[in-house]
Every structure is written in structure tokens, then in C-alpha cells.
């Protein structure tokens, strides 16, 4: 019956694991349930037969996440489950060199690999040696086991909020903390100096290329570190304020993609620095997170939003300019008179009228500068493979004074 020991091992494996789901079993069952042939399923998913077979039996090491998404949709199960089953079959066929089973288990439990790949931090979700190196490099870890998810007891929160994207959020926070730790601002926090500098900060928004860099330099000497960190899929963060060594640190991000929202986020976080610093310092960080629906958080966010909105461009000024928004030259002149870049007016108007004016956001997009044209304060991209402790000092030279 059996021609070799391999045949016996394969038979025993099927016998002992017959009740455990695999992608191949789920796929076969789905075909029976819906009455499709494998060829018809391939056409439905727009996937080549060889590609699908390699995913189902775990023989294809490099996969396009879009194909896993297609398979998850076809099987009607979560993407995370497809990834987990794929990795299990992959591990059987390709024992990972340089990574032990405990490291693999730890990585799968603590990181959303699909999101990290989408961001560009990793190239694939199956080469665990590569994944381990990239995570350790970005977070400044010597061992993957040094990683600890940040405490979710954030400022203003009742502690009841549990984000669905907990793994991604934790990685984003940890990456920001690693960067801020390397910078380690030497200047003491000067609240009175911030109050004095505040009136002219919005003027720098008119300098599209270097405005944010110049503001970051001013704030750095006041003991406030400002960096930019790119968004990640599923996160609805607009910014964050951290406590590092008893000093405020602001992390700007931009999942909306508008120049104006970067400036709104900056002023919003500076409000928290001015008026909520004691609570943030006690909790280590605060996230400006559109997905957090806790009333205690929303109330504080509303206050910070109103402050940022009034500081940048008050409602009274908006009432004056609103009838003339079609005249971009007039808006530009009015914005210059009020010391802000014109696109901020269009973004604020879109936020206020989005429920009734579906043209507001397209118009705001039309007049928004391309973020690629802006120099962002210490923007370490997810694709950068340099270790954080090496990359950050080089990036910091342009943004921050190198000495007192």
C-alpha cells in the first residue's frame, strides 16, 4: 500500500489532522457547496490556476496579498484566517532558516503582517527571517522578544476602548516611540516660550515646502519634538502627543491626505500640550483617533478641534469668504491677509459642510498642495531598511538644531 516512509507520514498526517481546517479543505468544501469547478473558481477570482494551487497547498513562498484577499472573499472568511492557514501550510513545506518556531509564533501573535506589507515595511508575509530583521530594525530591537505592546491606558480614555486594529496601532505607537527615543530632545519644555511663539506659527503654513520644518525647529528649542510618521491601513489617526523624558513630543500623520489637515493636526496637538500636558504625561501618550467613540475622549477632542479651527481661521472669517470660494484668487488674497495658506480655508469649509455639500471635498483636493512637495519633520518612511538608531540622526540634521 505504501511505497515509502514519506507515504506513511503523509497518510498519518491526514489521519491525525483530518478535522483541522486547511485552505485546501475549505476551498474544496466551498466548491461542493456552490457547485463550481476549480476552473470556474479561478475565473471568478481572476487568479491563475498555478497561483491558486501554490497558495492552497503552501508551495508558493512569495504571494501577492491581493490574491489572499480574493481567496478570503471567495471562501467568505476573514483575511487574517486565510493568512494564518497559509502560513501554517508554508511552514510545513519550507522550514524557516534563521527563525525558530517560537519567534514565528510571537511574530504572528503581535504583528499584522498584511498591514506591514501594505505599508512597505516588509516585502512579503512568509519570509520570517526578513520580517524579524525589518521589525527589529524599525523598532530598535536586538531581539524580537524585546517587543512589548504599549499600554492601552491612554489619556482621556476610560480604559474601555478596545480598537479592532490593536496590533497595527501598537506597532505604529512603538515605531514613533523608538524614533523619539533616538532624537532625545536636550532642551527643557518651555510652556511660556510656546505661548509667546504661538501667534506666528500659522504664518509658516504659507511656506508650503519648508513651513512645517521651520515650525519644528522653533518648537524643538522649546523642548517640543515634532516628527511625521506615515499612516497605516485601518488606522484613523490624525496625530498623537507623547511624553518622552518628561517632554512633549508630537507625531503628525495624515490619513486624510491634505496639506491643511497636517496644520490642523499640529495645532490640535499643541492644544493638548498647552492644556492637557499633566494628564498626557501621566498616561505617556494621547492619540487623536477618529475611531474612538468614548464620550470622555470625544469631548476633549472637540475642544482641541475648536481651538485649532479658531486659531487657523475663525468661523466669522469663514462666513465672510464662503460666498467667494469659487474665486480662488480672491480666496488666496484673503488667506494671505490672515496669514494662512489658502487650501486650509477649503479644507475647513469641507469639514463643516460635508454633510450637505458633496463638492466641498473635491474642491479642497483640487486646491491642496501635494504632500510630496512638503518637507516633513523627520519623515522616516516605512520602506527605509536602515536601523532606526542609524537613520534618525541623519534625518534629524535638517529638522532640529544639533546642539544647544
- Domain of 316 in residue numbering reads as 184-399
Q: Count Cα atoms within 13 angstroms, Cβ side, for 32.
A: 6
Mean pLDDT of 375-386: 93
Is pLDDT at 6 greater than 60 in this prediction?
Answer: no
Mean pLDDT of 48-65: 83
Residue 141 lies in a domain: no
Is pLDDT at 259 greater than 90 in this prediction?
Answer: yes
Tell me: do 79 and 196 sit in the same domain.
no
Tell me: do 332 and 209 sit in the same domain.
yes
Is pLDDT at 222 greater than 60 in this prediction?
Answer: yes
Q: What is the pTM of this model?
A: 0.75
Is pLDDT at 269 greater than 80 in this prediction?
Answer: yes
Residue 156 lies in a domain: no
Mean pLDDT of 12-32: 72
Tell me: do 247 and 350 sit in the same domain.
yes
Is pLDDT at 400 greater than 50 in this prediction?
Answer: yes
Residue 178 lies in a domain: no
What pLDDT, on the 0 to 100 scale, is given for residue 158?
Answer: 37
Is pLDDT at 248 greater than 90 in this prediction?
Answer: yes
Is pLDDT at 153 greater than 80 in this prediction?
Answer: no
Tell me: do 382 and 245 sit in the same domain.
yes
Tell me: do 303 and 201 sit in the same domain.
yes
**What's the chain's average pLDDT?**
85
Tell me: do 338 and 194 sit in the same domain.
yes
Cα separation, 191 vs 198, in Å, equals: 10
Tell me: do 220 and 340 sit in the same domain.
yes
Residue 151 lies in a domain: no
Cα separation, 302 vs 318, in Å, equals: 19
End position of a domain, from candidates 43, 71, 95? 95
Cα separation, 368 vs 25, in Å, equals: 50
Residue 112 lies in a domain: no
Is pLDDT at 107 greater than 90 in this prediction?
Answer: yes
What pLDDT, on the 0 to 100 scale, is given for residue 165?
Answer: 66
Cα separation, 53 vs 255, in Å, equals: 36
Least confident of 6-20, 63-77, 90-104, 126-140: 6-20
Question: With 0-12 CB in 10 A as exposed, 13-18 as middle and 19+ as buried, what is 1?
Answer: exposed
Tell me: do 194 and 299 sit in the same domain.
yes
Bridge-based pairing state of the strands 225-228 and 247-252: parallel
Is pLDDT at 255 greater than 80 in this prediction?
Answer: no
Tell me: do 226 and 351 sit in the same domain.
yes
Residue 71 lies in a domain: yes
Query: In the beta sheet, which residues pair with residue 247?
Result: 244
What CATH number does the domain containing 71 carry? 1.10.260
Tell me: do 90 and 226 sit in the same domain.
no
End position of a domain, from candidates 71, 95, 119? 95
Cα separation, 346 vs 362, in Å, equals: 10
End position of a domain, from candidates 38, 68, 95? 95
Is pLDDT at 297 greater than 50 in this prediction?
Answer: yes
Give percent of the chain with pLDDT exceeding 90: 53
Is pLDDT at 392 greater than 80 in this prediction?
Answer: yes
- pLDDT, tens digit, 9 for 90 and up, residues 304-361: 899 999 999 999 999 999 999 999 999 999 999 999 999 999 999 998 998 888 899 9
Question: How many structural domains comprise the chain?
Answer: 2
Residue 155 lies in a domain: no
Is pLDDT at 75 greater than 60 in this prediction?
Answer: yes
Residue 130 lies in a domain: no
Q: Tell me the pLDDT band of 157, cut-offs 50, 70 and 90.
A: very low
Amino acid at each position: 500500500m505504501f511505497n515509502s516512509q514519506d507515504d506513511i507520514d503523509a497518510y498519518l498526517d491526514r489521519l491525525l489532522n483530518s478535522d483541522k481546517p486547511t485552505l485546501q479543505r475549505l476551498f474544496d468544501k466551498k466548491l461542493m457547496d456552490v457547485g463550481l469547478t476549480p476552473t470556474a473558481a479561478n475565473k471568478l477570482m481572476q487568479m491563475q490556476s498555478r497561483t491558486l494551487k501554490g497558495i492552497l497547498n503552501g508551495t508558493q513562498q512569495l504571494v501577492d496579498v491581493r490574491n489572499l484577499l480574493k481567496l478570503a472573499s471567495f471562501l467568505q472568511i476573514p483575511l487574517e484566517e486565510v493568512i494564518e492557514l497559509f502560513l501554517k501550510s508554508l511552514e510545513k513545506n519550507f522550514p524557516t532558516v534563521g527563525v525558530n518556531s517560537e519567534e514565528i509564533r510571537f511574530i504572528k501573535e503581535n504583528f499584522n503582517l498584511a498591514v506591514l506589507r501594505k505599508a512597505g515595511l516588509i516585502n512579503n508575509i512568509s519570509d520570517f527571517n526578513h520580517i524579524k530583521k525589518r521589525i527589529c530594525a524599525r523598532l530598535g530591537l536586538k531581539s524580537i522578544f524585546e517587543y512589548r505592546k504599549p499600554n492601552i491606558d491612554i489619556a482621556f480614555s476610560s480604559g474601555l476602548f478596545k480598537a479592532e486594529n490593536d496590533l497595527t496601532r501598537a506597532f505604529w505607537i512603538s515605531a514613533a516611540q523608538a524614533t523619539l527615543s533616538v532624537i532625545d530632545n536636550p532642551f527643557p519644555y518651555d510652556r511660556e516660550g510656546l505661548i509667546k511663539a504661538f501667534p506666528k506659527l500659522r504664518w509658516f503654513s504659507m511656506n508650503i515646502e519648508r513651513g512645517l520644518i521651520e515650525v519644528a525647529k522653533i518648537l524643538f528649542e522649546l523642548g517640543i519634538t515634532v516628527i511625521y510618521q506615515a499612516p497605516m491601513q485601518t488606522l484613523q489617526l490624525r496625530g498623537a502627543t507623547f511624553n518622552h523624558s518628561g517632554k512633549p513630543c508630537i507625531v503628525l500623520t495624515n490619513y486624510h491626505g491634505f496639506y491643511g489637515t497636517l496644520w490642523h493636526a499640529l495645532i490640535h496637538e499643541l492644544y493638548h500640550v498647552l492644556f492637557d500636558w499633566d494628564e498626557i504625561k501621566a498616561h505617556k501618550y494621547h492619540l487623536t483617533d477618529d475611531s474612538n467613540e468614548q464620550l470622555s475622549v470625544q469631548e476633549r477632542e472637540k475642544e482641541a478641534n475648536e481651538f485649532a479651527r479658531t486659531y487657523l481661521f475663525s468661523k466669522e472669517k469663514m462666513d465672510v469668504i464662503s460666498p467667494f470660494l469659487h474665486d480662488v484668487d480672491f480666496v488666496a488674497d484673503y488667506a494671505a491677509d490672515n496669514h494662512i495658506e489658502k487650501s486650509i480655508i477649503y479644507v475647513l469649509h469641507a469639514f463643516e459642510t460635508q454633510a450637505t455639500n458633496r463638492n466641498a471635498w473635491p474642491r479642497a483636493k483640487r486646491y491642496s498642495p501635494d504632500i510630496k512637495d512638503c518637507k516633513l519633520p523627520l519623515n522616516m518612511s516605512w520602506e527605509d531598511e536602515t536601523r532606526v538608531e542609524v537613520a534618525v540622526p541623519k534625518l534629524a540634521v535638517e529638522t532640529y538644531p544639533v546642539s544647544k
